[in-house]
Amino acid sequence: MRPSTTSHIEIRKYNHPTGGWGSLKSLIRKARAQGLLTSGIWSTLLKQNKADGYMCVSCSWAKPAEPRPFEFCENGAKATIWDQTKRRCGPEFFAAHSVNELLDWPDHDLEKQGRLLEPMRYNEVTDKYEPVAWEAAFRDIGEELSKLDPKSVVFYTSGRASLEASFMYQLFARIYGSSNLPDSSNMCHESTSVGLPESIGSPVGTVQLEDFSRCDLMFFFGHNTGVTAPRLLHPIEEARQRGIPVITFNPLPERGLKRFKNPQNPIEMLSPGAGTKMSSDFFQIRGGGDIAAMTGIAKAVLALDDAARRTGAPRVLDTAFIEEHTHGFDAFEAYLRRTPWEKIDLRSGIARADLEHVADVYSKASAVIGNYGMGLTQHRHGTENVHMLCNLLLMRGNIGKPGAGVSPLRGHSNVQGQRTVGISEKPELVPLDKFAEFYRFEPPREKGRDTVETCEGVIDGSVRAFIGLGGNFVRAVPETGLVEDAWRHLRLHVQIATKLNRSHLIPGAVTYLLPCLSRIEKDLQATGEQHVSVEDSTACIHGSFGYRTPAGPNLLSEPRIVAELAKATVAGKSSIPWDEWVADYARVRDEIERCYPDHFKDFNKRFLAPGGFHRDIKASKRVWQTPNKKANFKPPTMLETDPDIDVSQSDVLTLITVRSNDQFNTTVYGYRDRLRGIDGTRMVLLMNEQDIERLGLHDGQEIDLESAAGDNVERRVHGLRVTPYSIPRGDCAGYYPELNPLIPLWHRAEKAHVPAAKSVPVRVVTSAPSR
């Protein structure tokens, strides 16, 4: 595969705010490149995240009931522009290029071909995709599936598909006999979905949008807000203007949490100032050092409480809350008291005085929100990170009261919702009895495969078929080398997609590419135009109404494709009237309500209201759905930054894989990571200057990176450029997915199995000639 670089490379410091003119310029450039400058794209964007419009296909951040005139951000607009491109990737393209040739193209060039137009079948003899009629594709896939053992078939979902499509998809898989329903969430917030229920009895966060205007302190752990959920910059800006402290922990000095210039505020845009200072305190923590940092803060809070007790001042701990609502405080307190400061300082890389300062600010705040992202979840101790943040919040009763709560910032626009409506490999999370009773079939009861287990099954041959409802599975997962090689032994490989990506180029014996409508497009079915729905990060459900003309006449909607696959595979095996559901998605919503009455009461009546409706999250009312009916303090088992990394070997570095401002996951919009000042290449290794010197390297040198996991598996990425950057010593950073070949499959969060993509053991190799 050719490296992700261009001929012009420029790397320099970027000190401008996020937002501002840079953001607008970037959008205009993107619209021009996709042939959209005069195509009504700007009026389309006015519909984004509005009650009468469509919900953005980028991130899952909350959508307000009273939207701004432009309720979109730079990255949401880029996602729309990329999705609604004028470019088309039809049969002529596939006739002109063999799959083997395309395998050499960078991710950006593949998706850049534009929207897929026709169902295609891979022909092994010509090594090309060839057009096929929809009916023939469905019939063949159905026949292939009926010859396979359902336990060997995987039904993957990337977090974009609607609640309606997802609900139907998981029913199809279960009627067929498979609970192998991994989701992109398995690579993302699964540490949350496992960790939060143990702490507070809820798999999702407890805050709503209103809480952001009521809080008096916000924490940000491991989230790159300015890039991955930029609309959240507005509530932060408002909080800062109210004088509220925002305390951030991140190994990289991410611009969005440093400074922001609101593109929707003409006065701010025209004034020469540098925008709003977003974090009152920004700590460049060591990668994986969050448990240590939070331990330090909690230890210092305890010391403040000790002092209060001595002097008779009001207690710093919320003792009434701890007494009435929690379990396990004593063990947690003992853990804090016995953990020495030296270890805390060493592991977090933050000085004791700084952590004491944070504790001081924290102890004065009465309503605190703990926001976090992949910097906490994608670690070996990802679930313990989540526990630890809950511990910190619970100490002062900061869960289940206005203005406070735990706030996992989810990724894909409906990733949280998919889990809500049954996309899960864990049977205990799904109302199987209801499915059995309502739709008259016997669902499998055993646990299915998650993402990592799917990869293991592909490698050992026990997985025989893969159906992907969106996504770019092979590119997004770890251990790229082994997974790609083994993938070719699959019997059946089906991808439902909008655009061409690398996963589509790794065929099995029988391979189909099925093009679908995007959520931004009108979806016309027998009873008229259809709505779909999605759930945002704050457990709020919104309707979404397609606005643009479909990219091509032969595209089918995701619900229709799922229904046709089901009819071709499991006809007569349930009472589901697939055609009637497709004719009118309101029927599907009625069924979601029937299966999940607590969360979806009056679904069809409520989901189009401005601002949507909230699911009933019990923990936000201090009802704890844990086995002991309490919120649980859970002391961590380790302070180590990563137990798989041998820090005693001085040449081993901890690699953090990150997203650029010019990508959405494996979708690479371009090579301009404006906010980090990196232009023209993604093949960089951001390193601390002292490490560069210590390892005898120099700025701009071309190096290889290899795995230092100590398991004798060769993993290597060629041609990275040494780039001095502000990052703690011992850590280095580079882009996902280019660096995924370096992540061992077994290097993953305990229990949750999220690949530990934020702490990968690596070593620099200098055999490549330096420039």
Ligand X SMILES: Nc1nc2c(c(=O)[nH]1)N[C@H]1C(S)=C(S)[C@@H](COP(=O)(O)OP(=O)(O)OC[C@H]3O[C@@H](n4cnc5c(=O)[nH]c(N)nc54)[C@H](O)[C@@H]3O)O[C@H]1N2
Shorter beta-carbon distance to ligand X: residue 401 or 758: 758
Q: Which is it for strands 217-221 and 246-249: parallel, antiparallel or unpaired?
A: parallel
Smallest separation, CB 322 to ligand X (Å):
26
What distance in Å separates the CA atoms of residue 300 and residue 282, rounded to the nearest whole number? 18
Smallest separation, CB 81 to Mo ion (Å):
21
Smallest separation, CB 378 to ligand X (Å):
6
What distance in Å separates the CA atoms of residue 297 and residue 391, rounded to the nearest whole number? 11
Shorter beta-carbon distance to Mo ion: residue 411 or 612: 411
Query: Residue 535: which of 615, 618, 598 has the closest Cα?
Result: 615
Query: Residue 710: which of 615, 633, 645 has the closest Cα?
Result: 645
Partner in contact with 18, chosen from ligand X, Mo ion, none, beta carbon below 5 to 8 Å by kind: none
Residues in the chain: 771
Smallest separation, CB 605 to ligand X (Å):
26
Smallest separation, CB 471 to ligand X (Å):
3
SS (H, E, C) 210-249: HHHHHCCEEEEECCCHHHHCHHHHHHHHHHHHCCCCEEEE
Q: Compute the half-sphere exposure of residue 519: CA atoms within 13 Å on the CB side of its CA.
A: 28
Smallest separation, CB 162 to ligand X (Å):
9
Shorter beta-carbon distance to ligand X: residue 249 or 600: 249
Partner in contact with 59, chosen from ligand X, Mo ion, none, beta carbon below 5 to 8 Å by kind: ligand X
Shorter beta-carbon distance to ligand X: residue 194 or 374: 374
Partner in contact with 469, chosen from ligand X, Mo ion, none, beta carbon below 5 to 8 Å by kind: ligand X
Asked whether the beta carbons of 166 and 417 are under 8 A apart, the reply is: yes
Smallest separation, CB 635 to ligand X (Å):
19
> Which residue type is seen at 169?
Y
Positions that interact with Mo ion (CB under 5 A): 188, 411
Partner in contact with 744, chosen from ligand X, Mo ion, none, beta carbon below 5 to 8 Å by kind: none
Host H or E run for residue 33: helix 20-33
Q: Outline where DSSP puts E strands in 400-557.
A: 405-408, 465-469, 492-497, 510-515, 524-525, 528-529, 531-535, 540-545
Shorter beta-carbon distance to ligand X: residue 111 or 564: 111
Positions that interact with ligand X (CB under 6 A): 58-59, 75, 111, 158, 160, 184, 187-188, 221-224, 227-228, 249-252, 254, 285, 287-288, 290, 373-375, 378, 411-412, 469-473, 476, 496-499, 501, 516, 518-519, 558, 656-659, 663-667, 736-737, 740, 743, 757-758
What distance in Å separates the CA atoms of residue 44 and residue 33, rounded to the nearest whole number? 17
Smallest separation, CB 186 to Mo ion (Å):
10
Closest residue to ligand X: CB criterion:
373
Query: Residue 154: which of 474, 445, 493 has the closest Cα?
Result: 493
Q: Give the C-alpha distances (Å, rounded to integers) separating 257 from 16, 227, 381, 522, 598.
A: 12, 10, 24, 36, 37
Shorter beta-carbon distance to Mo ion: residue 405 or 411: 411
Partner in contact with 707, chosen from ligand X, Mo ion, none, beta carbon below 5 to 8 Å by kind: none
Shorter beta-carbon distance to ligand X: residue 328 or 373: 373
Partner in contact with 174, chosen from Mo ion, ligand X, none, beta carbon below 5 to 8 Å by kind: none
Closest residue to Mo ion: CB criterion:
411
DSSP H stretches of helix in 584-688: 585-595, 603-606
Asked whether the beta carbons of 55 and 534 are under 8 A apart, the reply is: yes
Smallest separation, CB 617 to ligand X (Å):
20
Q: At a CB cut-off of 8 Å and minimum separation 6, what does 716 contact?
A: 704, 705, 706, 707, 741, 742, 765
Shorter beta-carbon distance to ligand X: residue 317 or 582: 582
Shorter beta-carbon distance to ligand X: residue 44 or 250: 250
Shorter beta-carbon distance to Mo ion: residue 188 or 668: 188
Q: Which residues pair with 678 in a beta bridge?
A: 11, 673
Smallest separation, CB 185 to Mo ion (Å):
7
Query: Residue 36: which of 90, 94, 77, 92 has the closest Cα?
Result: 77
Partner in contact with 516, chosen from ligand X, Mo ion, none, beta carbon below 5 to 8 Å by kind: ligand X
Apex 523 CA angle, 518 and 526, nearest 5: 150
